Each structure stands twice: as C-alpha cells, then as structure tokens.
C-alpha cells in the first residue's frame, strides 16, 4: 500500500434508519501512520443485516471490495465469510494501537501489539456475535444456559483466529509489523477463572456449543485474582495473587446496562396481600462482562457472561469519608467487591464460608434474573410462564449453582405471582444437574443456620421443597415399615438433622400405652407412670435418643448440626441428573444417589465428558494435525472426530510411523525449551516424557507416582552404570498442578516432589537416565505445550474416585499412551484404544470397599518393596524436611489421615511392575509408535462435540440455529 495513500473503510448497512433503534449515521475517525491516513466511516441501522466492507486507496488504487466479517448479503443465500488480506489486518492492528489505546503512544512493543491484535480480532467477533443473538431474539429459540463456578479458558487469541480460519493472515500481518504471531500470542495471560477439569470441561463445552450452532450461553463469575499464582520455593508451594487483569482484558465487554440487584441477610415479611417479601439487609449489584466464544468454521459466536459485583453508589458514606473515617465510608464497596476477588476462598473460617455462599448465590441470582428478563423480552405481550421450560434450559455444572433452584422459585413465586404448583413444575422442567464427584466433601452441605441468616427467603423455599420431598417419600413407601421409612427419609431429605415438617411430625410417635388393671381390693391401678418419674423415650427421625432417668437428666451428646444438602436439592429440583463417565454414572446410581435412583430412575443419565479437538489437537499440535489430515484426506476430522478412526489402517505404515516420531520429537524439543525457561532444568528430548498434570489431591495419587520414582532411583543407585543403562529407559518425569492453599497433605506432596527432583536431577551418576520436574503454575497454556510432547501419561487415581477426567482424553488424542487404573473415562478410553495399548494396574472399583475393610481389620500385609521405599524416604536422602506425617498417612489400620485410605500401598507393587512393562514397550520404538497412533485413532469418541449433541438431545431439547 502506498505510503501517501488515504485508506477509507466504509461499513454500510443498506436499510434506512428508523425510529429509536437507529445508530448514528456516520462516525468518522482518522489517524496518521507516517503519511498514511485511515478513515473509518460507519453508516448503520440497528435492524439492517446488510453490510459491506470497502477498502479504498484514495490516491492511486481502485476500490477493492472485501467480504464483510459477518454478513455479505450480495449472495443469493445471504451467506458471508470474513476473508481480509494481511494488509487490511495490519491496518486494523495499527488503528487499534492508536485509537483503542491501553498503553503509551511512544512505542509499539509486544504487549501493545498483543492488545491491538486481540482488539482487531474482536471487531470481527462482535459483528458475528451481535448477529448471532439478533437471530436468537428474532426466532425466540429455546436456549441452553450453562452455569459454572469455573471456566478455564486458556489464551483466547490463537483459538479465536484459528476458529475464524485467519491464522495465516494474522501471522503475515504481524510479520509486516515486525512481530511473530506466536510471540505476540504469548503476551496473553491465561484467564484465571478456573482451577482444573471442571472449568476446562465448561470451556470445551462452550467451544462445541458455538461450533455446532447451538443457541447457548455460559454464566460465571469474573474473578479479579482467580485461584492463585503458584510459586515453588525451597519450602514448597507458595501462593500469590493472580494478576491476569492487571493490564486489562481485551476480550471482555462490560455491559453497563446489564446489572441486577443481589440481596443478602434481611428478613421475610408478609404483606397485606398475603405475599411474602424479602426486605432489608445488604444490597449489591451484579454487572455483566461478556466474552465472545467463536465457533469453528461458522459465524456463530456465543457469550460467556461473567458477573462482577459492586455496591450501589449511594452506599458510599460521603459524610463519614469527609469526617476522616475513610475505611468505614467504603465498607459497603469493599464488601461487595470482595465477592468476586478469589475463586474458592478458604472456608475454614466462618467468614470464608459466608463469602463462598455469597459467591454461589450471586452467580445464581444474577444469571436467573438475566434469563427471566430475556424470556420476558422475547415473549413480549404474550408471556406465558408455563412455556418457560420450552424456551429455557439451565444446566448446573456440579453443586455450586444449586441455589438456582430456590432462586428461580423465589422469582416465580414472589415477583411473578405464580402459585407453588406452577412454579415448582416450571423449575423442575427447566433445571438439570451434572454430578462430577463421588467424594463426600465435594457433595456440598451448607449450615442451615448460616443459610437462614444470609438467605432467609430461600431457606423458607427449601423447607417447602423438603416437605414436598417428604410427601413423595411417604407416598412411595408408606408408613407401616417405620424402619424403612426412617432410613429413606434420612438418606433422601434435603434438610439433614432437621425435624420433620409439622404436617408429618407425628409419624414416628408411638401411641402411649395405658391399661387399667383392677386389684384384688377393687382399686383401679393405671399402668402409666407419672411425669415426674417417667422414663420417656423421644426419638428423632434419625433415631437419636434422649433418656430421662428417675433421679437426674442424663445429658445427651450435642445434637448434630443442621445442614442443607445441596446435591440432594439438585436431584429433587431438576429433571435430569447425569454422571460424566460410564463407570461414574453407575456409581452415581448404585451408591451416591441410590435411594433417589430407586425413587426416580428416569432422571439418571450418563454423559461421558469430552474435549474440543480444535484446541487440543488442531491448534496446539499442528505437526500431528498435518499428518492426520494427510492420512484421512481432509480436515473433516476437526469437526467429525470419527474420522480419526481411519488412522487405524495406517498404524503399521513405516512412513507414517517415521513422520509420527518426527512430529513427537519436534514437540518434545519445544517442551524441553519451555521447561528450561520455567524451571532451569535441562532435559533430554531422547528420554521418554512421562507426565502427570492435574490438581494435586491424595485420590489422584501423585504420591504413588513419586514413590515409584523414588523406588526407581534407589534401584538405579544400587547398580553399576552399565546395569542402569541396560535396565532402565531414560525418563523425564514431569508433574504440574496446584494444591489447594489449605490442603496440608497435598502441599506436602508438592514439597516432596520438588525435593526428590532436587536430589535426582543433581546426581551425576544418574544423569539423563532420570529427571524429575515440577512445573510451577500449571495452566492451559502450559498444557498446550506439554500434552503434544507427552509419551506416557499417568491417570492413576484410586479406582472409583475419579468421576471422568478430561486430561486423559487430551493425552490420548495427542498420541500419548496412558498408564492408569480402571477409573473414570480410563475405562472407556481403554475400550476404544485397545487393551494392548493401555498400561493397566491396580485394584478395581468393586474391590475398594473390601480392601478398606481388610485394612481396618488389620489383615493388610504391605509389599516389602513398599516398606523399602518408605524407609528410604525416612532416611533423609531427599533433604532435612520431616516427611513423617506424609508417610504415616500410609500406615496404620484406622484413623483420620491414616490407614492409607487411597490404597497407595495396596497398588504400589502392581504399579511398579506395570512401569517395567512400560520400559519394555518403549525400547521397541516401532511398537510404541504403533500404540501411539492407535491411541489417537481410538480417541474419536472423546470429542466434546459428541457430548454436547447428547446434552442437546437428551437433556436440553435444543436444536442448532445456523446464521445465514
């Protein structure tokens, strides 16, 4: 483009302006780049979909007409694509660098280049985005709303331009400006909106919903600091505040006109009309921030709406501030803003519990108010509340959004004036629940007293829901078998340790016997005793007893706390409950919610998790993607992962195997450089990359992995150099993941891994035969580097405890071979890739209860190799830190924090024997590469596209809506 040219961009909409819906007819902006001038002219009508994008070189070039990013209605079908050239993209980037500035104007460095690039991409997305929801509004389609406390998005730039099929154009444009696309993309911090698999699954689902053209919306919270930034020091894991929003987020758009009141505390009063009103208390506002989620090879762009919290302006106490009481003046502001500061604030304190409950209610209340407002707007004057479930599907991602149920009831009852029967029917038909865990601590329970104080109206509604449930239970099981009925009520009720509703309070009261006996003297004697000396037995529904003796009151133990069981409320209030893997869904039916399954079997479903093949193969592993495309003949596999199955017929092809190994080695070289930069350790790309990256938790058994490494290291030290080389395949053992800040045992495990690494990595006798790396602050961006480089991945949780897992799917997609137990999605992955291509060890889920019982009875005999490795740790070879409590958790037969609840000792011998099989297989690279190809081929089932199709059909009843 000539330096002296004027560049004019005109964005036209053909329809004339009309009424208050019109936007300004002309917006003129100009800026100089040397002698060039960019002039943006916009003419628009709010209602018109017709647009054209024109680039004009005024001085020397004829007009060049490009297709608009969203709509080119010049075609007969009205379809359009966005196909700008690199020059126009470069001009757009330069425009944003000057006219959407977040940095000083005197230099154009990498951070500024990233923001300007992201803003230029967002321009294209906004047009698609607006048209997507204009169409949904016009058609008034049924829409799904996915509510989650976590969305682990990762970086957005490469994903967005990849979905728009503009990667090459943006790479060339940035090259013209002096930068490489990859370096610019690396400036983007990962959005700190999640922690682990729960949040990453939610993000994969949004990608699939957009790609498959389903009308949907995600709802979450806009955490200022996220979970935490993990630092590894000599003392182990240290937590610091995450700074992802420090320099802004170019992807989000604040919707200042979308805000809803949120109330806490206060009281419920009955008005003169008999309606219940929640008044007083603490009031805040939830403000919407929207993030666009583009689909792949489609114009469809959906929203992730994140709520931020603030206090109303009038709550700032100006008088107190002017009096010098500055902290008191802004108390309301600080109290409101802290709700969205941190993901999962520590809840060991009362204040922490209050804050978590406030977070959950804020998500539910703001989202439900928004959903209801949208329903009313779309319905217009013909609003029929009975049709609400025909237009709205709400999915609760785990128990965190459970308060959706009483909140929707509150809105329908108190604000919309519906009867209880109408509101309850609507709520049950609208809401569905995904269970993600069998761990008791994750099946949330909240203090009844705390919830009653914070959300008094919701507790009233929950009590009525509980009464509705009690009525159903009694109707199903009758009152004749008191033992059976008591057991069902104890297991099923939403309210735990709470008296039965008044209408049913006399069910378990036995009639007092009184017989009249005539004595020989003719006196009448009563068989009942007087109150003063009675030995009266009072029983609660749970069978607790209080005995009053003749002479003194025997003090009973303190009553158990009254609790609200959120998982039970989810099952009662929703129309569908799904597990996230076949084995998990069976455990949900057979164990976790067995009594509910007996009562309502039709509610329970399985929806095996999936991951998006766009981010997890196509974009993060371009070398492998190229090979897959060559083998399958097209890129159709990116949308139809069934095509991956075609790789099976090439598994023995030597040419493919050679190229497959080259692709893997290229990824390993990239990962090695990344590890060097992040940890300082140098690793050999010729060693096997053995990776376990996930949240640090005892049930995920990183401890089993590192104890296996310790055993390997000990045996190496006992051998000569020649014996070591003969016996062991070189390995780089990589760990990543965060231990929750208050989870002491998990943090000990992190410290232990880093201590083992510090010892092993500096041992000159071992050299490159064994390296142990803990990658700090593991996140999605790190996963995108490590997963393509992986060769062995560890998914070794105690059988029956991992609901599904999604990282196992990502690793398999990238040709990584898994070692694992029959747990979660491992079961289905092994079925698909073939038993010969999966390294299996350990006890199975149906054996776990018996093994724990055996341990409690003192019958467990530990393997000598397990005792040997524990003694080796205790010897102090890995430093002065005292690991006695960590090791002691693996010993004894009972007690909290002891007795090896997660069966590390039981599975240890099976695990190390399986690792020997891994070494044997890796030595035969032809065999290993064949296994790798078959893992990618067998991963076709684990696309989130497949999962979303199943949700859409079986739970939400929504249909795709594609933009013209």
Enzyme catalytic residues: 436, 694-695, 700, 806, 810
Q: What region, left, alpha or beta, does residue 402 occupy, with left being phi > 0 and alpha being psi -120 to 50 degrees?
A: alpha
Dihedral sign of CA atoms 580, 586, 590, 595 in order? positive
Using the 8-state DSSP alphabet, how is residue 797 labeled?
P
d(CA 709, CA 753): 10
d(CA 876, CA 880): 6
Nearest Cα to Cα of residue 285 among 321, 327, 313, 249: 313
Place of tokens 């909140």: 407
Q: Yes or no: say if 730 and 770 are a contact pair by the CB < 8 Å rule.
A: yes
Q: Yes or no: say if 422 and 385 are a contact pair by the CB < 8 Å rule.
A: yes
Q: What region, left, alpha or beta, does residue 97 occupy, with left being phi > 0 and alpha being psi -120 to 50 degrees?
A: alpha
- DSSP codes joined into one string, 248-307: --TT-EEEEEEEEEEEES-EEEE-TTS-EEEESSEEEEEEEEEEEEEPTTSS-EEEEEEE
Structure tokens of 605? Answer: 């479903």
- For residue 354, the tally of other CB atoms under 10 A from its CB is 17
d(CA 280, CA 715): 69
| Contacts within 8 Å (CB) and 24+ apart, 755-759 | 755/878, 755/879, 755/881, 756/706, 756/709, 756/710, 756/713, 756/878, 757/681, 758/878, 758/879, 759/713, 759/877, 759/878, 759/879
Neighbouring residues of 829: CB distance < 8 A, sequence distance ≥ 6: 808, 809, 812, 818, 838, 938, 939, 942
Neighbouring residues of 466: CB distance < 8 A, sequence distance ≥ 6: 493, 494, 495, 498, 501
Place of tokens 């007009």: 63
| Contacts within 8 Å (CB) and 24+ apart, 625-634 | 626/663, 627/656, 627/659, 627/660, 627/663, 628/936, 631/656
- For residue 428, the tally of other CB atoms under 10 A from its CB is 17
Nearest Cα to Cα of residue 179 among 100, 248, 107, 101: 107
Indicate the burial class of 549 (C-beta count within 10 angstroms; 0-12, 13-18, 19 or more): exposed
Strand partners, 793: 691, 818
d(CA 467, CA 903): 41
β-strands 445-447, 731-736 pairing: unpaired
How far, in Å, are 81, 287, 365, 590, 608 from residue 34 at the CA level? 31, 41, 52, 72, 56
Structure tokens of 465? Answer: 């829901």
Neighbouring residues of 376: CB distance < 8 A, sequence distance ≥ 6: 383
Tell me the backbone φ, ψ of residue 690, rounded to 5 degrees: -110, 115
d(CA 647, CA 747): 42
């Amino acid at each position: 483009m000539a330096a002296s040219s004027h560049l004019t961009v005109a964005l036209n909409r053909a329809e004339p302006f009309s009424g208050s819906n019109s936007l300004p007819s002309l917006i003129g902006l100009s800026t100089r780049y040397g002698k060039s001038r960019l002039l943006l002219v916009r003419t628009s009508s709010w209602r018109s979909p017709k647009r054209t994008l024109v680039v004009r070189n005024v001085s020397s070039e004829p007009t060049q007409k490009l297709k608009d990013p969203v709509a080119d209605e010049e075609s007969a079908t009205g379809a359009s694509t966005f196909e700008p050239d690199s020059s126009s993209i470069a001009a757009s980037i330069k425009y944003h660098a000057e006219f959407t500035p977040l940095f000083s104007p005197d230099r154009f460095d990498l951070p500024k280049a990233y923001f300007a690039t992201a803003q230029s991409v967002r321009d294209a997305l906004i047009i698609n985005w607006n048209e997507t929801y204009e169409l949904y509004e016009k058609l008034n389609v049924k829409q799904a709303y996915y509510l989650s406390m976590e969305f682990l998005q990762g970086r957005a730039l490469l994903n967005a331009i990849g979905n728009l099929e503009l990667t090459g154009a943006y790479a060339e444009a940035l090259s013209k400006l002096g930068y490489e696309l990859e370096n610019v993309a690396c400036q983007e911090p990962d959005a700190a909106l999640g922690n682990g698999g729960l949040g990453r699954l939610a993000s994969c689902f949004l990608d699939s919903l957009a790609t498959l053209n389903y009308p949907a919306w995600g709802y979450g919270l806009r955490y200022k600091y996220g979970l935490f930034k993990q630092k590894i020091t000599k003392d182990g894991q240290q937590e610091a505040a995450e700074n992802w929003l420090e320099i802004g987020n170019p992807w989000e758009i604040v919707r200042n006109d979308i805000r809803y009141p949120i109330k806490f505390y206060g009281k419920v009063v009955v008005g003169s009309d008999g309606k219940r009103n929640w008044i007083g208390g603490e009031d805040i506002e939830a403000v919407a921030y929207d993030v666009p989620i583009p689909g792949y090879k489609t114009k469809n762009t959906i929203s992730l709406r994140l709520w931020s919290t603030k206090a109303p302006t009038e709550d700032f106490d100006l008088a107190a501030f002017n009096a010098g009481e500055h902290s008191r003046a802004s108390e309301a502001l600080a109290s409101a803003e802290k709700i969205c500061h941190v993901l999962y604030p520590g809840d060991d304190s009362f204040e922490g519990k209050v804050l978590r409950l406030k977070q959950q209610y804020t998500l539910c209340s703001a989202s439900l108010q928004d959903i209801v407002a949208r329903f009313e707007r779309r319905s217009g004057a013909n609003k029929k509340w009975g049709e609400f479930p025909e237009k709205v599907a709400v999915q609760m991602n785990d128990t965190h959004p459970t308060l959706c149920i009483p909140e929707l009831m509150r809105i329908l009852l108190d604000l919309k004036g519906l009867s209880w029967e109408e509101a309850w029917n609507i709520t049950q038909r609208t809401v569905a629940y995904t269970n993600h865990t069998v761990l008791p601590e994750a099946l949330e329970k909240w203090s009844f007293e705390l919830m009653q104080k914070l959300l008094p109206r919701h507790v009233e509604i929950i009590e009525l829901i509980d009464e509705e449930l009690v009525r159903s239970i009694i109707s199903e099981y009758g009152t004749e078998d008191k033992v059976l009925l008591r057991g069902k009520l104890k297991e099923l009720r939403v309210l735990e340790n709470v008296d039965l509703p008044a209408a049913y309070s006399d069910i378990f009261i036995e009639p007092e016997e009184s017989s009249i006996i005539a004595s020989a003297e003719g006196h009448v004697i009563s068989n009942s005793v007087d109150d003063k000396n009675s030995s009266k037995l009072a029983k609660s529904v749970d069978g607790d007893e209080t005995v009053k003796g003749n002479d003194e009151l025997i003090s009973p133990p303190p009553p158990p706390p009254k609790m609200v069981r959120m998982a039970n409320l989810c099952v009662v209030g929703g129309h569908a409950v799904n597990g996230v893997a076949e084995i998990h869904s069976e455990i949900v039916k057979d164990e976790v919610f067995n009594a509910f399954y007996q009562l309502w079997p039709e509610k329970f479903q399985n929806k095996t998790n999936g991951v998006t093949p766009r981010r997890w193969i196509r974009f993060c592993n371009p070398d492998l993607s190229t090979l897959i495309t060559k083998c399958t003949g097209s890129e159709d596999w990116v949308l139809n992962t069934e095509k991956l199955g075609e790789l099976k017929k090439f598994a023995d092809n030597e040419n493919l195997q050679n190229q497959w190994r080259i692709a893997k080695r290229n990824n390993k070289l990239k990962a090695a450089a990344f590890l060097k930069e992040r940890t300082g350790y140098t690793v050999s790309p010729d060693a096997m990359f053995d990776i376990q990256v996930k949240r640090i938790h005892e049930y995920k058994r990183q401890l089993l992995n590192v104890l296996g490494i310790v055993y390997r290291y000990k045996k190496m030290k006992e051998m000569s150099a020649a014996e070591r080389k003969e016996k062991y395949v070189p390995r780089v053992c990589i760990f990543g993941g965060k231990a929750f800040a208050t989870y002491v045992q998990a943090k000990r495990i992190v410290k232990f891994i880093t201590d083992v690494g510090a010892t092993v990595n500096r041992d000159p006798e071992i050299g490159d035969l064994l390296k142990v790396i803990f990658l700090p602050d593991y996140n999605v961006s790190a996963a995108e580097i490590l997963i393509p480089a992986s060769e062995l991945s560890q998914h070794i949780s105690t059988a029956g405890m991992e609901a599904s897992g999604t990282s196992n799917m990502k690793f398999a997609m990238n040709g990584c071979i898994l070692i694992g137990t029959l747990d979660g999605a491992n079961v289905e992955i092994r079925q698909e890739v073939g038993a010969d291509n999966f390294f299996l060890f350990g006890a199975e889920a149906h054996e776990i209860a018996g093994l724990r019982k055996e341990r409690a009875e003192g019958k467990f005999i530990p393997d000598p190799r397990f005792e040997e490795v524990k003694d080796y740790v205790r010897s102090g070879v890995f430093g002065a830190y005292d690991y006695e409590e960590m090791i002691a958790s693996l010993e004894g037969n009972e007690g909290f924090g002891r007795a090896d609840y997660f069966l590390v000792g039981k599975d240890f011998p099976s695990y190390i024997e399986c690792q020997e099989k891994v070494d044997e297989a890796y030595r035969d690279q032809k065999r290993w590469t064949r296994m790798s190809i078959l893992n990618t081929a067998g991963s076709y089932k684990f696309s989130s596209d497949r999962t979303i199709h199943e949700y859409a059909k079986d739970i939400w009843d929504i249909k795709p809506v594609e933009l013209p």
